[in-house]
Amino acid sequence: MHIAVIGAGLSGLTCARQLQIQGHSVTVYEKSREVSGRMSTRQTEFGGFDYGAQYFTASSAAFRKQISAWKKAELIMDWNPHLVRLEQGTPDVHKPAGRSQKRFIAIPDMSSLCKYLAQGLDIRTEQVVRRIEPLGQQWLLSVGSNSVAIDASAGPFDAVLLAVPADQAVPLLTVAPALAKQAAKARLSPCWALLLSFPVPLELGYDGAWVSGSRLSWIIRDNAKPEHRDGERWVAHASVDWSIEHLEDDEERAKEKLLKAFHEATGSQVQPVHATAHRWRYAQALAPLAEDCLWRPKLHIGACGDWFAAGLEGSGRVENAYLSGLALAAAVGS
């Protein structure tokens, strides 16, 4: 089959690779300049920032097996940061973080895993899919790009697979209203991220912290990761509530407020030499669908992503994305 995959995050790339191994001809459309989606790393003159997923964990046998293979190929490694819990207003009294979990990071940075998975695939970057239209038993895509004023038509494809956040899948699924209805149940929450580079080490005594009683929920020292470049770089994520309330703030305003919260939470008054805020409009699924993925064999349309539970207890994680992408490829091939 000639298959279009929309989205080159971990779920789309996992699915596309499996389908290509099965002998299908696959084209991946990605609206950004680079692959990786929410596992992206932003490069700056101060070093790279993993500003979406910081690390991942594995609870299923399938993902653990994949992790062993990635480790052998030196694509990822274990990461053992010193993590604490911070109470707002008492930055010097930090409690050790609860249960210990094995954590993994991609090396040399988070985006490198997806960049590796993208090798050998036909990926069209900076191509946003705006519409899916039927053509007999097949599908055409209406694709926009910054360089061309008029949307181009791509296809025909025998199958179309959406590997984008649920909220972005819904408007594309007007051709399959039952799937659109299901996707609409799995909305994702936003997250404001703050990227900071400091002229000197902050010497906080920990590498990362879950923060309570603050606009922030999580802070992490990016350069605590092995193989990351020198320099003192921190990433802070705002809480879900704050991110929802301030979703439409401009970046400058969000940056100022979050920087203030960072100083309050850590007790450090060192001023950054570089600060940027990034709005993840669709960050993490809070209410996943119970399935592994969606696939309609009659229509040849499907969806995968981290908004599927895929047999796991929680959602919105790298492991969900991987398992869901794998499951969709298996469903298409069956």
Site of interaction with ligand FAD (CB under 6 A) = 6-12, 29-32, 37-39, 52-56, 128-129, 163-165, 168, 191, 193, 237, 280, 283-284, 305-306, 316-318, 320-321
Closest approach, Cβ 326 to ligand FAD, in A, equals: 12
Residue placing its CB nearer to ligand FAD in the complex, 191 or 254? 191
* Residues in Cβ contact with 254 at an 8 Å cutoff, skipping those fewer than 6 apart: 192, 194, 238, 246, 277, 279
Closest approach, Cβ 81 to ligand FAD, in A, equals: 11
Closest approach, Cβ 92 to ligand FAD, in A, equals: 26
Closest approach, Cβ 173 to ligand FAD, in A, equals: 11
SS3 of the chain: the string is CEEEEECCCHHHHHHHHHHHHCCCEEEEECCCCCCCHHHCEEEECCEEEECCCCCECCCCHHHHHHHHHHHHCCCEEEECCCEEEEECCEEEEEEECCCCCCEEEECCCCHHHHHHHHCCCEEECCCEEEEEEEECCEEEEEEEECCEEEEEEEEEECEEEECCCHHHHHHHHHHCHHHHHHHCCCCEEEEEEEEEEECCCCCCCCCEEEEECCCEEEEEEHHHCCCCCCCEEEEEEECHHHHHHCCCCCHHHHHHHHHHHHHHHHCCCCCCCEEEEEEEEEEEECCCECCCCEEECCCCEEECCCCECCCCCCCCCHHHHHHHHHHHHHHHHC
Phi then psi dihedrals of residue 73, to 5 deg: -80, 5
Residue placing its CB nearer to ligand FAD in the complex, 187 or 270? 187
Closest approach, Cβ 97 to ligand FAD, in A, equals: 13
β pairing state of 103-106 and 232-238: unpaired
Residue placing its CB nearer to ligand FAD in the complex, 51 or 198? 51
Residue placing its CB nearer to ligand FAD in the complex, 231 or 305? 305
Closest approach, Cβ 266 to ligand FAD, in A, equals: 19
Residue placing its CB nearer to ligand FAD in the complex, 10 or 186? 10
Closest approach, Cβ 312 to ligand FAD, in A, equals: 10
- Checking phi first, is residue 121 left (phi over 0); if not, alpha (psi -120 to 50) or beta? beta
Closest approach, Cβ 125 to ligand FAD, in A, equals: 9
Q: And the tokens for 205?
A: 């005594």
Residue placing its CB nearer to ligand FAD in the complex, 34 or 267? 34
Residue placing its CB nearer to ligand FAD in the complex, 259 or 270? 259
Residue placing its CB nearer to ligand FAD in the complex, 77 or 270? 77
Residue placing its CB nearer to ligand FAD in the complex, 318 or 331? 318
Closest approach, Cβ 233 to ligand FAD, in A, equals: 16
